[in-house]
Structure 1
Amino acid sequence: MSYYVTVTGETYADARESFSWDVPDGFNAAVDLVGKHDGDQPALVQLTDDGSRTTYTFGDLDARSNAVANALEARGIEHGDRVAVVVPQKPANVLTHLACWKLGAISLPLSVLFGDDALRYRLTDSDTRVAVVDASQLATIREVAPDCPALESVLVVDDTSSETVDQQRIDGVTVEPFDTAVDWTATALEPADTDVDTPAIIMYTSGSTGEPKGVLHSHGVWLGHCPAFQLYFEHDVRDGIYWTPADWAWIGALGDLVFPAWHYGQPVVGYPMGSFDAERAFELMATEAVTNTFLPPTAIRMLMDIKEPTERYDLSLESICSGGEPLTPEILEWADETLEGVVVNELYGQTEANLLVTNCRQWFPAKPGSMGKPVPGHDVAVLEPQTGERVDSGEVGEIAVRRGEDPVIFESYWNDPARTDAVTLSDGPDGDRWHLTGDLAERDEDGSLWYISRDDDLIITSGYRVAPREVEETMLAHEAVAQVGVVGVPDERRGEIIKAAVEPASEASATDELRAELREFVRDRLAAYEYPREIEFRDELPTTTTGKIRRTELKPE
């Protein structure tokens, strides 16, 4: 079954008009990603810190994921069961996801950065039966396993400790080395009967605005990312090499780059970098001839600190996609000038419905500050959330996407139908069901969307509505600011005042003089009521595992 998502048309309008999903019956995500291609094509180039480099073909990944599926099945995993994946950028990560989907089971990508509470919550909430964990997480899993009643088996990847994990038990949970549990010769497997709507993966939200939610997606979710993938990588996606430093536990890594690249039969570079290293990133992109990359804005800003990169590194880079926080004009200028014309395209999405909006230089050049335009295949509108009616251009409303047959939209929140109903507009425009994103934006007359804020992030000060993101973008333009998070704090006179938590740049000093300078800097560029009356300097801001500022932790108790 050689099905490919294709965006065609001379213009953006043509592509929007002509696009159709037309997903074949019996669709299985794993078969689509690694089973339909020429088995000799390179799929994964795996790098390690010791300098080793291993290339896995699509045939290798297909066979090895069959072996992992057989090992999971031997440990009782059946259709609909949950399997956690707590592994960095290593083959065991993607092999476990593929194996789950071949069994009709549900995988859970979880970050190796999670501590006890975060991991315990997700394993318990999902009733995970098997966890595939990196050796670096073994101590954490030992701590939380007794509190996870559904957990039966833990498979440990790359354990090099002197204490073997072979057939240990943690309060009834079996612990085994991953490579011992999997018989790599057992590669015969008939994939389970699935279709585009069969549940496949639970991805937990980052928790930047509250308690993490389990977001259930179907086998079609990676197809739903492909139209945007073609736009932000400027259409030519059949001849490239792809890499991202982002954690493979995040939809921004798996959905924005890894799995769409495999849908089109293209190789991905894997490297468990840990903390982002700008010099190492340039070196990797040069030696592996990376053409397209997904980079969070924070990583881009770190790359911008490297002097004369094109003189020091022989880069093949053609395009960068980025999202999750503002792309300032300086980033676009840096890529165009310092990287000699490399395209940077901002994108917008969320765990529940990713890659709804993006830019594409060939069709509509990026406007600094704009997320771009709706992607073909996704019917995106800006609605008045109370009435469900479309708002006029220039007016603020809530971003919504028509459910219909769109495979990128989540099925439901795990075990929480009431919360699912709360973000579903049952009788929206044209009488259809729409997903409400909770994000506020406005649309200009050209059809471009401009992000304002989360609907629950708006600050009401002296009767004025202030979007934290706008203040953050302005403060980030100051050379003394490395990172900033803006929140509203209670005030008897004004209802709320604006507070900024600032991580100073490496060469800046946290002084009262800088506070005054930053207040004036914002006041001069925004409205008089939008400057931060309170500024707190911090060595480091609280972030989610995906690098977003945790505004909830910046607010007073």
Structure 2
Amino acid sequence: MVSSAQESATMPLSPPRNMKDYEATRRDFRWERPEHFNFAADVIDRHAAERPEALALLWSDEAGQARRFTWEDLRRRSLHAARFLTEQGLRRGDRVFIMMPRVPEWWFLVLGCIRVGIVFMPGTPMLTPKDIRYRLEVAEAQAVIADVSCLERFDGLVGTAGKVRTWVSVGEGAPSPWGRYVSGVAEANAGAAFEPTRADAPLLIYFTSGTTGMPKMVLHTQASYGQGHVITGRYWLDLTPEDRHLTLSDTGWAKCAWGKLFGPWSQGACNVVYDFRGRFEPAKLLKVLETQKVTTFCAPPTAWRALVLQDLKAFDLSSLRHTVSAGEPLNPEVIDTWKDATGLHIHEGYGQTETVMIVGMFPSMAPRVGSMGKPSPGFTVSVIDDQGQEVADGQEGDIAVRVAPERPVGLFQGYLGDDAANAACRRGDWYVTGDRAVRDADGYFWFVGRADDVIKTSGYRVGPFEVESALLEHDAVAESAVIGVPDEKIGQRVKAFVVLAPGHTASPVLAQALQEHVKRTTAPYKYPREIEFVTELPKTVSGKIRRAELRTTRT
């Protein structure tokens, strides 16, 4: 079924710079498959040679401090970091867990790891000691690099966690056995001091923030991310060397690699970083967009929902030319509010920790509010059934990427040490993402939900997002999460957890009003038969709602 909102389309709001014709770009695109590839040596150093004094990293924090780094600065500081790491006894293939806030040293050290072939494993500063121990032990990490502000997270771990032999802090005041890294610059004439890196060599390991079970280790190679995110940066973010791009993400999320590392720097764009440590304050971020003259901007849906509640007309956002969202589907009313205030459409995109951007609303396409877009250049993406066959347009199925006879560059190598997970995500010639969607007759994809989140009630299949989106259109609702609850009569009944907006009070009358609102907004069978008012929703470290936790603890 395609709703009236899905049927509507508007022309692109600003001319794209990199993809003039979607179909032609897909038809002509070919992956480069070199034998050797190293993002630091082949991309950063190339920009440093061509545009040494151009701005590459523009950092600021809540206190108003600012630091600026050119491409030549990045080259020399990452060479210094690489030498520091090797002096600690770390070698190609060693695994290093990195936990740092959004400070420039994170980028220097990550690029240093890439130069040497050290496999880095980013972790968000929100992880608990239990989370960290699990990661260090299951990954058999040889080293830890942490900002001094994160050291309390390692209480009880130093000397007891797995095979870690090297502990490095960034900043002053770390106790023994923590060593200290101080950012510096290599000599100006420092050349390629390290051996070439194979394109299929390990690059990084991410731990998935799945809705069930312990996190899985996702392995990316030098090419899968370093080259694969050309799709993200060039075509979806639409970046050029003249752009200043800001992606809202902390350093522990895969989204950081997408929009704060490989995506912008693959295109020579300036990476704008806003370092805040406390509660997200949307007005402050809008001020950063204004003062730093950001041209392209990416934020997750949770941030977009907060941003559009601000008085957007009070900020000068005229430098912005392109805005995007990814992580979870964005509610149409948020897109409409932002467009009304700025004239810009929020282009949605879809990918995973396991992939680069594989489906996107690219700037050259007529956007359709609520749609994920169409498959990225270099990828064959479809909707398949349980037998691995493509379903007809308009039918729901599993989102899948074709991996045979040729595997696309931007796909992960596999789940480390998890044969069951690797087998479960393959269905014939397809990699199955675990998400469900519908593709319409024009080739646009429409997200339904996680395969394990879809609710079957009275013979109907209901995607949680559909109900959550309807609830969010009501003025009283700030956030919502929807799950299926076992019901003897109808299989599952739809239950909603609702966080109220300021100025509203929970009551049976309001619950009934919300139910009637959903019935009016979407198909009546989708309305939540049960509503529970809560003060907050459980979320993963990357900000996604943990519906699995709601199913197990609140039903």
TM-score (norm 2): 0.91
Say whether 1:471 aligns with 2:467.
yes
In structure 1, distance between residues paired with 2:174 and 2:494: 52
When residues 10 and 184 of structure 1 are mapped into structure 2, their CA distance, relative to the original with a 3 A threshold, is closer
Say whether 1:521 aligns with 2:535.
no
In structure 1, distance between residues paired with 2:309 and 2:40: 39
1:8 to partner: Cα distance:
6.7
1:311 to partner: Cα distance:
4.2
In structure 1, distance between residues paired with 2:186 and 2:30: 40
1:71 to partner: Cα distance:
1.7
Partner of residue 35 from structure 2, selected from 25, 44, 50: 25
| Structure 2 residues not aligned, in runs of 5+ | 1-15
When residues 259 and 10 of structure 1 are mapped into structure 2, their CA distance, relative to the original with a 3 A threshold, is closer
When residues 502 and 192 of structure 1 are mapped into structure 2, their CA distance, relative to the original with a 3 A threshold, is farther
Partner of residue 442 from structure 1, selected from 423, 438, 445: 438
1:314 to partner: Cα distance:
5.3
- Match of 1:400? 400
In structure 1, distance between residues paired with 2:489 and 2:88: 62
- Match of 2:65? 52
In structure 2, distance between residues paired with 1:9 and 1:531: 40
Mapping of residues 276-295 of structure 1, within 5 Å: 276-295=280-299
- Match of 1:3? none
When residues 32 and 310 of structure 1 are mapped into structure 2, their CA distance, relative to the original with a 3 A threshold, is farther
| Structure 1 residues not aligned, in runs of 5+ | 1-5, 170-174, 429-433
In structure 1, distance between residues paired with 2:63 and 2:314: 26
Say whether 1:231 aligns with 2:235.
yes
Count of residue pairs brought into register by the alignment: 529
> Greater relative contact order (Cα 8 A, min sep 6): structure 1 or 2?
2
Q: Say which is worse superposed, 326-335 or 77-86, in terms of deviation.
A: 326-335
Q: Alpha-carbon deviations, 1:177-232, whole Å to 9, x = none? A: 222xx665576652333232211011111133432111000112132222243333
When residues 77 and 189 of structure 1 are mapped into structure 2, their CA distance, relative to the original with a 3 A threshold, is farther
- Match of 2:45? 35
Letter of the structure 1 residue corresponding to residue 46 of structure 2:
K
1:281 to partner: Cα distance:
0.8
In structure 2, distance between residues paired with 1:86 and 1:146: 17
Say whether 1:507 aligns with 2:503.
yes
Say whether 1:547 aligns with 2:543.
yes
- Match of 2:76? 63
In structure 1, distance between residues paired with 2:60 and 2:469: 35
Mapping of residues 198-347 of structure 1, within 5 Å: 198-220=201-223, 221-233=225-237, 235=238, 237-274=240-277, 275-307=279-311, 309-313=312-316, 315-339=318-342, 341-347=343-349
SS across alignment from 1:390: coil
In structure 2, distance between residues paired with 1:502 and 1:273: 27
- Match of 2:97? 84
When residues 7 and 268 of structure 1 are mapped into structure 2, their CA distance, relative to the original with a 3 A threshold, is closer
- Match of 1:197? 200
Identity of paired residues, percent? 34
Residues 426 and 432, structure 2, Cα contact 8 Å, conserved in 1:
yes
Letter of the structure 2 residue corresponding to residue 319 of structure 1:
H
In structure 2, distance between residues paired with 1:116 and 1:131: 13
1:9 to partner: Cα distance:
6.5
- Match of 2:370? 369
In structure 1, distance between residues paired with 2:420 and 2:22: 37
In structure 2, distance between residues paired with 1:9 and 1:542: 39
In structure 1, distance between residues paired with 2:505 and 2:211: 28
When residues 184 and 300 of structure 1 are mapped into structure 2, their CA distance, relative to the original with a 3 A threshold, is same
In structure 1, distance between residues paired with 2:110 and 2:184: 17
- Match of 1:172? none
In structure 1, distance between residues paired with 2:336 and 2:520: 23
1:15 to partner: Cα distance:
0.8
When residues 236 and 213 of structure 1 are mapped into structure 2, their CA distance, relative to the original with a 3 A threshold, is closer
Residues 205 and 217, structure 2, Cα contact 8 Å, conserved in 1:
yes
Q: Alpha-carbon deviations, 1:61-96, whole Å to 9, x = none? A: 111112211221122211211111101111121122
- Match of 2:490? 494
TM-score (norm 1): 0.90
Residues 358 and 381, structure 2, Cα contact 8 Å, conserved in 1:
yes
In structure 1, distance between residues paired with 2:20 and 2:70: 34
Residues 256 and 294, structure 1, Cα contact 8 Å, conserved in 2:
yes
1:329 to partner: Cα distance:
2.1
SS across alignment from 1:206: coil
1:320 to partner: Cα distance:
1.0
Q: Say which is worse superposed, 109-118 or 272-281, in terms of deviation.
A: 272-281
- Match of 1:462? 458
1:486 to partner: Cα distance:
0.9
In structure 2, distance between residues paired with 1:478 and 1:223: 43
In structure 2, distance between residues paired with 1:97 and 1:45: 17
In structure 1, distance between residues paired with 2:339 and 2:191: 49
Residues 202 and 215, structure 1, Cα contact 8 Å, conserved in 2:
yes
SS across alignment from 1:472: helix
Give me the CA root mean square deviation: 2.1
When residues 462 and 334 of structure 1 are mapped into structure 2, their CA distance, relative to the original with a 3 A threshold, is closer
Letter of the structure 1 residue corresponding to residue 205 of structure 2:
I
1:356 to partner: Cα distance:
0.5
In structure 1, distance between residues paired with 2:306 and 2:21: 35
Residues 79 and 186, structure 2, Cα contact 8 Å, conserved in 1:
no
Q: Alpha-carbon deviations, 1:386-414, whole Å to 9, x = none? A: 21111110011111112224221100112
When residues 32 and 484 of structure 1 are mapped into structure 2, their CA distance, relative to the original with a 3 A threshold, is farther
SS across alignment from 1:475: helix
In structure 2, distance between residues paired with 1:517 and 1:133: 49
Letter of the structure 1 residue corresponding to residue 390 of structure 2:
R
- Match of 1:421? 423
